[in-house]
Amino acid sequence: MKKVITYGTYDLLHYGHIKLLERAKALGDYLIVGVTADDFDKTRGKINVRQTLEERIAAVRAVNIADQIIVEQYEGQKIDDIKRYDVDVFTVGSDWEGVFDYLREYCEVIYLPRTQGISSTDIRSSEATFKIGMTGYSSFLNKFYKESTFVNAVDVIGLYSKDTTKLSKIKDELEFITNDYDELLENVDSVYIHSHPSSHYSECKKALLNGKNVLCESPVAMSSEECNELLKIAKDNGLTFMEAIRTAYTTAYSRLLLLLKSGKIGKVVSVDATCTSLSSGGDGSREKLNRWGSLEAWGPTTLLPVFQILGTDYESISFFFLKSSNGDYDSFTKIDFKYSFATASIKVGNGVKSEGELIISGTKGYVYVPAPWWKMDYFEIRYENPTDNKRYFYQINGEGIRYELVEFANAIRRGKPDFYIDRQVTIEISKIMHEFYSKVK
Ligand code: C2G
């Protein structure tokens, strides 16, 4: 029996895929199809895959050409599979011409002509593309715009800003720039808000009341009342309202949460998160409009693991903060939480430097995430006996912004909130902002 193997993502299965499978089958008597796992696709840069692995396997199975379906999970697996299944022929479309010649050492390699005129990318791009307008002035928007070019379903076309001095990189890329928020809203269907935190609530509210989907940097509001109001407007109008803490959308961070919930380090008794920089938030300029307090700049990022791991039912909270030399904002803040079963501490600085690590302590071991943990691609689970230590690595591109945008587009398309950040966490972050800044200001 002549065995043939081929691999693919097979997203949104189309006739180009089917013709490939038919010709692959005709090369022998038994066809094995390797469908790529979600993580594997993300690792190799395919972040726009619309369907889950289960859906893609079901679609391949439904066309009844494959004799066996396996999952491709890691780099180099093809060699293992060819040996494991005693394969005679590896085949793939001609768009991969030459890439798999190294497999000739193990089996025959045949590249089949790719079917012209159809691709999953074309299908995805032909569907709704969301027109996004950005708000803000930080140089971070240059990065956000660049990241958006990797995401099929979104077009960042406009910017509302009162100060574009730091945005020269994207001025020529955008269809329009305006200092009139109404004009921005008239020309887009979604907004990404990265203005000063004190403007988030008003900008979110206006966008939502104008029927726009909103992706807003955290904190989305500076009080739980304002936050609840925004959530209600979004719900009542069937709009997507998503909090942009990009850490939440990285593979490493979401896998870390799953490992913790599965008891890998026993009961979590402490979460310690530190984020500092010397000029984060509004480009570090100090005039009133742009200066960001340490908690405004880094609070949401550090509070995310605290609330997602320990919950929001802490018994007590205490603040320590230092003001900047000119006295008008918090340059360093430490917040301690006491739970009935655990403790947590965040340290944030804007104008203060420290080691930006995340340490999660447990009754069986602990998690160590090195700086800059908030754009993690690597973490360790450490135990009493170092030989039991485990290391995890998940490729990340662009700090997680593109994955956040993919989830935003998916949430709009699905018509229901993303499941990465629980609404209670969003509300609690806004509440902490109010409690803290009513003390500081
Ligand atoms: N294909 C084709 N014609 C098209 C589109 C795709 O012949 N119009 C072929 C591809 O060449 C590939 C298979 O269909 O052999 C699946 O394509 P994709 O789902 O796009 O996955 P891809 O990542 O290209 O698969 O490691 C090998 C890769 O996984 C190959």
pLDDT of amino acid 31: 98
Ligand 1 lined by 10 (C-beta under 6 Å): yes
- Among 76, 66, 80, 73, residue whose Cα is nearest residue 25: 66
256 & 390 share domain = yes
pTM (predicted TM-score): 0.88
Ligand 1 lined by 40 (C-beta under 6 Å): no
228 & 266 share domain = no
Give 159's strand partners.
Answer: 134, 177
211 & 282 share domain = no
Query: Among the residues of 94-223, which ranges form H helices?
Result: 120-126, 140-148, 168-171, 181-187, 197-209
279 & 297 share domain = yes
Residue 164, domain CATH: 3.40.50.720
340 & 218 share domain = no
20 & 149 share domain = no
Mutational test site, ligand 1, from 41, 92, 103, 118, max ligand atoms within 8 Å of CB: 92
pLDDT of amino acid 282: 44
171 & 77 share domain = no
Structural domain ending residue among the three candidates 102, 122, 142: 122
Ligand 1 lined by 118 (C-beta under 6 Å): yes
Residue nearest to atom 23 of ligand 1 (CA): 8
Separation of 21 CA from ligand 1 center, angstroms?
A: 10
Ligand 1 lined by 91 (C-beta under 6 Å): no
pLDDT of amino acid 288: 47
pLDDT of amino acid 287: 45
Q: Which domain holds residue 114?
A: 3-122
* b/e sequence 161-175, b meaning 16+ C-beta within 10 Å: bebeebbeebeeebe
The list of the chain residues with pLDDT below 50 reads: 281-289
pLDDT of amino acid 290: 56
Residue 43, domain CATH: 3.40.50.620
pLDDT of amino acid 127: 78
79 & 147 share domain = no
Separation of 92 CA from ligand 1 center, angstroms?
A: 7
Cα angle 235-237-238, degrees, rounded to a multiple of 5: 65
83 & 134 share domain = no
pLDDT of amino acid 419: 78
36 & 93 share domain = yes
Residue 414 lies in a domain: no
Number of domains in the chain: 3
pLDDT of amino acid 368: 98
Residue 410 lies in a domain: no
Separation of 37 CA from ligand 1 center, angstroms?
A: 14
Residue 405 lies in a domain: no
Residue nearest to atom 29 of ligand 1 (CA): 8
Residue 440 lies in a domain: no
Residue 434 lies in a domain: no
